[in-house]
A and B are shown apart, each in its own frame.
Chain A
Amino acid sequence: MVDIRNDFLGIKSPNPFWLASAPPTDRIVNVTRAFKAGWGGVVWKTLGEDPPIVNVNGPRYGAIHGADRRLIGFNNIELISDRTLQENLREIKQVKRDWPDRAVVVSLMVPCEEASWKAVLPLVEETGADGIELNFGCPHGMSERGMGSAVGQVPEYVEMVARWCKQNTRMPVIVKLTPNITDVRFAARAAKRGGADAVSLINTVNSIMGVDLDAMAPSPHTDGKGTHGGYCGPAVKPIALHMVADIARDPETAGLPISAIGGITTWKDAAEFMALGAGNVQVCTAAMTYGFKIVEEMKAGLAHWMESKGYERLEDFIGKAVPNVTDWQFLNLNYVAKARIDQDLCIKCGRCHIVCEDTSHQAITATKNGERWFEVQDDECVGCNLCVSVCPVENCITMEQLTEGVDPRTGRPIDPTYANWTTHPNNPMSKAAE
Chain B
Amino acid sequence: MDKARAPGVRAGRLSGEEIARNFTDLHPPLDAHEALVEADRCYFCYDAPCVKACPTEIDIPLFIRQIQTADVVGAGETILQQNIMGGACARVCPTETLCEEACVRNLAEDKPVAIGLLQRHATDRLMEEDRQVFERAAPTGRRIAVVGAGPAGLACAHRLAVHGHEVTVFEARPKSGGLNEYGIAAYKLPDNFAQREVEYILEIGGIEVRHGQRLGHEITLEQLRKDYDGVFLGMGLGSTNSLGVAGESLEGVHDAVDTIAELRQSPDLTGFPIGRRVVVIGGGMTAIDIAVQARRLGADEVTLVYRRGREQMKASRYEQELAQTNGVRIVTWAVPTEVLGDGGRATAVRFDHVVAEDGRLVSTGESFEVAADQVFKAIGQTFVAAGLGEAGLKLDGGRIAVGAGRCTSLPDVWAGGDCIAGGQDLTVAAVEDGKQAAESIHRTLGAAAAA
Flag if A394 contacts B71 (CB, 8 Å).
Answer: no
CB contacts (< 8 Å) of A304 on chain B: these are 71, 73-74
A420 on the interface (CB 8 Å rule)?
no
Q: When chains A and B are docked, how far (Å) is the Cα of A301 from the Cα of B78?
A: 11
Flag if A297 contacts B41 (CB, 8 Å).
Answer: no
A70 on the interface (CB 8 Å rule)?
yes
> Which B residue sits closest to A395, measured CB to CB?
B33
Nearest CB on B from A348, distance (A): 17
> Which A residue sits closest to B41, measured CB to CB?
A68
Known contacts A68-B40, A297-B74, A300-B74: does B69 contact A267 (CB below 8 Å)? yes
Flag if A266 contacts B44 (CB, 8 Å).
Answer: no
Flag if A291 contacts B65 (CB, 8 Å).
Answer: no
Q: When chains A and B are docked, how far (Å) is the Cα of A294 from the Cα of B43?
A: 12
Flag if A297 contacts B71 (CB, 8 Å).
Answer: yes
Known: A291-B46, A293-B62, A304-B73. 15 other contacts (CB 8 A): A268-B69, A290-B44, A291-B44, A293-B44, A293-B61, A294-B44, A294-B65, A296-B62, A297-B65, A300-B66, A300-B71, A300-B74, A301-B66, A304-B74, A394-B33
Q: When chains A and B are docked, how far (Å) is the Cα of A25 from the Cα of B69?
A: 25
Q: Which of B46, B66, B73 contacts A297 (CB 8 A)?
A: B66
- Count of A residues near B, CB < 8 Å? 17
CB contacts (< 8 Å) of A296 on chain B: these are 62
A99 on the interface (CB 8 Å rule)?
no
Q: When chains A and B are docked, how far (Å) is the Cα of A293 from the Cα of B41?
A: 18
B100 on the interface (CB 8 Å rule)?
no
Bitwise, B232-271 to A at CB < 8 A (1) or not (0) is 0000000000000000000000000000000000000000
- Count of B residues near A, CB < 8 Å? 17
CB contacts (< 8 Å) of B74 on chain A: these are 297, 300-301, 304
B289 on the interface (CB 8 Å rule)?
no
Which of A267, A300, A394 has the most chain B CB atoms inside 10 A of its CB?
A300
CB contacts (< 8 Å) of A293 on chain B: these are 44, 61-62
Nearest CB on A from B433, distance (A): 27
A305 on the interface (CB 8 Å rule)?
yes
B77 on the interface (CB 8 Å rule)?
yes
- B52-77 CB contacts (< 8 Å) to partner A: 61-62, 65-66, 68-71, 73-74, 77
Nearest CB on B from A398, distance (A): 15
CB contacts (< 8 Å) of A300 on chain B: these are 66, 71, 74, 77-78
Chain B facing A: main interface SS = helix
Flag if B69 contacts A297 (CB, 8 Å).
Answer: yes
Which of B61, B65, B77 has the most chain A CB atoms inside 10 A of its CB?
B65
- A295-337 CB contacts (< 8 Å) to partner B: 296-297, 300-301, 304-305
Q: Which of A68, A70, A297 contacts B62 (CB 8 A)?
A: A297
Flag if B71 contacts A301 (CB, 8 Å).
Answer: yes
CB contacts (< 8 Å) of B33 on chain A: these are 393-394
Known contacts A294-B65, A300-B66, A300-B77: does B71 contact A70 (CB below 8 Å)? no
Q: When chains A and B are docked, how far (Å) is the Cα of A293 from the Cα of B66?
A: 12
Q: When chains A and B are docked, how far (Å) is the Cα of A178 from the Cα of B345?
A: 87
Flag if A267 contacts B41 (CB, 8 Å).
Answer: no
Nearest CB on B from A55, distance (A): 25
Nearest CB on B from A289, distance (A): 9
> Which B residue sits closest to A266, measured CB to CB?
B69
> Which A residue sits closest to B59, measured CB to CB?
A296
Flag if B62 contacts A267 (CB, 8 Å).
Answer: no
19 A-B pairs in the complex with CB atoms less than 8 angstroms apart: A68-B40, A70-B40, A266-B69, A267-B69, A290-B65, A291-B44, A293-B61, A293-B62, A294-B44, A296-B62, A297-B69, A297-B74, A300-B66, A301-B66, A301-B70, A301-B71, A304-B71, A305-B71, A394-B33
> Which B residue sits closest to A66, measured CB to CB?
B40
CB contacts (< 8 Å) of B69 on chain A: these are 266-268, 297, 301
> Which A residue sits closest to B36, measured CB to CB?
A394
Residue positions of A touching B, CB distance < 8 A:
68, 70, 266-268, 290-291, 293-294, 296-297, 300-301, 304-305, 393-394
**Across the A-B interface, the 6 shortest Cβ-Cβ residue pairs:** A301-B71, A266-B69, A300-B74, A297-B65, A290-B44, A304-B74
Nearest CB on B from A98, distance (A): 24
Residue positions of B touching A, CB distance < 8 A:
33, 40-41, 44, 46, 61-62, 65-66, 68-71, 73-74, 77-78
Q: Which of B40, B71, B77 contacts A267 (CB 8 A)?
A: B71
CB contacts (< 8 Å) of A294 on chain B: these are 44, 65
Q: When chains A and B are docked, how far (Å) is the Cα of A354 from the Cα of B185?
A: 49
Chain A facing B: main interface SS = helix
CB contacts (< 8 Å) of A291 on chain B: these are 44, 46
Q: When chains A and B are docked, how far (Å) is the Cα of A105 from the Cα of B62?
A: 28
Q: When chains A and B are docked, how far (Å) is the Cα of A294 from the Cα of B44?
A: 9
Which of B41, B66, B69, B77 has the most chain A CB atoms inside 10 A of its CB?
B69
> Which A residue sits closest to B46, measured CB to CB?
A291
Which of B46, B71, B77 has the most chain A CB atoms inside 10 A of its CB?
B71
CB contacts (< 8 Å) of A297 on chain B: these are 62, 65-66, 69, 71, 74
Q: When chains A and B are docked, how far (Å) is the Cα of A301 from the Cα of B77?
A: 11
Q: When chains A and B are docked, how far (Å) is the Cα of A293 from the Cα of B60?
A: 13
Nearest CB on B from A321, distance (A): 18
CB contacts (< 8 Å) of B66 on chain A: these are 297, 300-301
CB contacts (< 8 Å) of A393 on chain B: these are 33
Nearest CB on B from A54, distance (A): 30
Q: When chains A and B are docked, how far (Å) is the Cα of A393 from the Cα of B31?
A: 13
CB contacts (< 8 Å) of A394 on chain B: these are 33
Q: When chains A and B are docked, how far (Å) is the Cα of A152 from the Cα of B70?
A: 37
Nearest CB on B from A52, distance (A): 30
> Which A residue sits closest to B129, measured CB to CB?
A308
Q: When chains A and B are docked, how far (Å) is the Cα of A200 from the Cα of B122?
A: 36
CB contacts (< 8 Å) of B77 on chain A: these are 300
Q: When chains A and B are docked, how far (Å) is the Cα of A294 from the Cα of B73?
A: 16
CB contacts (< 8 Å) of B61 on chain A: these are 293
CB contacts (< 8 Å) of A266 on chain B: these are 68-69
Nearest CB on A from B76, distance (A): 10
> Which A residue sits closest to B69, measured CB to CB?
A266
> Which A residue sits closest to B74, measured CB to CB?
A300
Q: When chains A and B are docked, how far (Å) is the Cα of A209 from the Cα of B310?
A: 53
Q: When chains A and B are docked, how far (Å) is the Cα of A70 from the Cα of B71?
A: 20
CB contacts (< 8 Å) of B78 on chain A: these are 300
Nearest CB on A from B234, distance (A): 31
Nearest CB on A from B30, distance (A): 14
Q: When chains A and B are docked, how far (Å) is the Cα of A301 from the Cα of B61?
A: 15
Q: When chains A and B are docked, how far (Å) is the Cα of A301 from the Cα of B70?
A: 8
Nearest CB on B from A39, distance (A): 16
Q: When chains A and B are docked, how far (Å) is the Cα of A393 from the Cα of B33?
A: 9
CB contacts (< 8 Å) of A305 on chain B: these are 71
> Which B residue sits closest to A307, measured CB to CB?
B73
CB contacts (< 8 Å) of A301 on chain B: these are 66, 69-71, 74
Known contacts A293-B62, A300-B77, A394-B33: does B40 contact A268 (CB below 8 Å)? no
CB contacts (< 8 Å) of A290 on chain B: these are 44, 65
> Which B residue sits closest to A293, measured CB to CB?
B62
Known contacts A293-B62, A300-B77, A394-B33: does B70 contact A268 (CB below 8 Å)? yes
CB contacts (< 8 Å) of B70 on chain A: these are 268, 301
Q: When chains A and B are docked, how far (Å) is the Cα of A267 from the Cα of B69?
A: 7
Q: When chains A and B are docked, how far (Å) is the Cα of A296 from the Cα of B41?
A: 20
CB contacts (< 8 Å) of B73 on chain A: these are 304
CB contacts (< 8 Å) of B41 on chain A: these are 68
Nearest CB on A from B257, distance (A): 41
> Which A residue sits closest to B78, measured CB to CB?
A300
CB contacts (< 8 Å) of A68 on chain B: these are 40-41
Q: When chains A and B are docked, how far (Å) is the Cα of A70 from the Cα of B42?
A: 10
Q: When chains A and B are docked, how far (Å) is the Cα of A291 from the Cα of B61?
A: 12
Q: When chains A and B are docked, how far (Å) is the Cα of A304 from the Cα of B77?
A: 11
Which of A68, A266, A268 has the most chain B CB atoms inside 10 A of its CB?
A266
